[in-house]
Amino acid sequence: MSAMVPEDFRKWYQARHAYQRDWKRRTGRPMVGYFCTYTPEEIFYAFDVLPVRILGSHEIQDVTEPHLFGMFCPFCRDVLAQGLKGRYDYLDGITLAQSCLHLRQAYTSWTLHRNPGWCHYLPMPNHVQSPRAVPFLVAEYEILIKKLEDLTARRITDADLKRGIEIMNAVRRVLKRIYAFRKQDPPPLTGTETLYLACSQFFTDAREWLPAARALEKTLETRRLNRDPGKRLMLVGSENDDLEFVKMVETLGEKASVGATVVVEEHCTTTRYFWEEVEPAGRDPLSAIAKRYVLRTPCPSKDWPQRTRIRRILSLADAFKVDGALVIQQKFCDPHEADMPFIRKALEERGVPAYFLELDTTAAPGPLATRVEAFLETLGMDEDLF
């Protein structure tokens, strides 16, 4: 295997629309786009409906101004722009599990102006630390199931739900096993490659993605990269599938004095999305699914009154032996902005230098290169003191 990521993952990421149109042609089955990783993909797979995540294009957009305030985050505006421009017109439906108000407005505007015919808003509880969150969510899942019965003209059984659980658990297991390889020094794959791997799963049928991921896992047992890994970095914060940003961070060493490799992330595009599995619950698979989504590593919009997510961040920093952390926030993302001081304080108290960056997913990352380089140089200076 070459130093490049396997072509399947790159192609699935870059040609997501072509894959999804072809999937519909091949299978004849429905496809629903979702906005947030609190969406229970297990239930959609139980209905043989393909759930695909709607992400942005990382392009400057000019169509959302009449629909979203200028101080809504760039990610939400970019996502809505994809819908308004008709790039997802092949979808049979869209759904949102409640996360933040900005994303909810993007979903609402999409349903008003490019309604695909089937839409469902899932009131995922914000107070996930409440003992009533799981039964509340089970009741909401029952409503979702009835809506999916309307879409598919079929009913599902507990066996179907268990099949959906196993599909998604298999995805989570292989991703965690591949991530474990990144603990090595040097790691056998870059952060850029890993992001192609993780994000491509959003756009493909998990049953077609899994064989490629397992083949990659096998190859990593002997793979070696012909590059200096430099400093081991962690990314923490807002949604980030910005391949150009990660690529910029990892190629600085080719142009500057200090290089780096992103060895782990804590955001909803990777670990926060897949880390926890659905635990078996006997005869009640729906409750098992609800419990998983309530207890998973929370989005900061739901991580209250206790900030439980910080424990996961510190655990990942320790396990992956990071030299420093880039704490990133999509511009105007209020939930993450409120978390930043606490996360930086916790990391620095653990001995992990942290540097804050505000991102705009619709803008080129080049102007951030000087700041990232300066941070990497400070990590090298700390090393020189001993």
Q: Lowest-confidence range among 216-225, 278-287, 357-366?
A: 357-366
CA–CA gap between residue 238 and residue 328 (Å, rounded) = 6
Asked if pLDDT for residue 103 goes beyond 70, the answer is yes
**Domain definitions of the chain by residue range:** 26-161, 225-384
Residue 31 in 3-state DSSP? strand
Confirm whether 26-161 and 225-384 share one CATH topology.
yes
In this prediction, residue 2 has a pLDDT band, given cuts at 50, 70 and 90, of: very low
Asked if pLDDT for residue 231 goes beyond 60, the answer is yes
Q: pLDDT value at position 66? A: 87
Asked if pLDDT for residue 384 goes beyond 50, the answer is no
Q: pLDDT value at position 364? A: 81
CA–CA gap between residue 112 and residue 238 (Å, rounded) = 27
Average of per-residue pLDDT across 265-289: 92
Average of per-residue pLDDT across 124-142: 97
Asked if pLDDT for residue 7 goes beyond 50, the answer is yes
Average of per-residue pLDDT across 222-226: 92
Asked if pLDDT for residue 381 goes beyond 80, the answer is no
CA–CA gap between residue 34 and residue 94 (Å, rounded) = 6
Q: pLDDT value at position 57? A: 85
Mean pLDDT, all residues of the chain: 92
Report the candidate in 178, 254, 256, 183 with the shortest Cα–Cα distance to residue 217: 178
- The sheet that has 93-97: what strands, in order across it? 50-53, 31-34, 93-97, 119-122
Q: Which of 71-75, 117-121, 304-308, 337-341 is modeled with the greatest confidence? A: 117-121
Note the pLDDT tens digit of each residue in 311-352: 999 999 999 999 999 999 888 888 888 888 999 999 999 999
Assigned CATH topology for domain 225-384: Rossmann fold (3.40.50)
Report the candidate in 137, 136, 180, 141 with the shortest Cα–Cα distance to residue 164: 141
Average of per-residue pLDDT across 216-233: 93
30 within 8 A of 95, measured Cβ to Cβ:
no
Query: Is 26-161 in CATH node 3.40.50.11890?
Result: yes
Residues 6 or more apart whose Cβ sits within 8 Å of residue 75: 56, 103, 238, 239, 330, 333, 361
Note the pLDDT tens digit of each residue in 46-64: 999 999 999 988 887 789 9
Q: pLDDT value at position 386? A: 32
65 within 8 A of 109, measured Cβ to Cβ:
no
Asked if pLDDT for residue 256 goes beyond 80, the answer is no
| C-alpha to C-alpha distances, 313 to 264, 327, 351, nearest whole angstrom | 10, 11, 13
Q: pLDDT value at position 4? A: 45
- For 230-259, b where at least 16 C-beta lie within 10 A, e where not — what string? bbbbbbbbbbbbbbebbbbbbbbbeebebb
CA–CA gap between residue 57 and residue 88 (Å, rounded) = 12
Predicted TM-score (pTM) of this structure: 0.94
Q: pLDDT value at position 5? A: 57
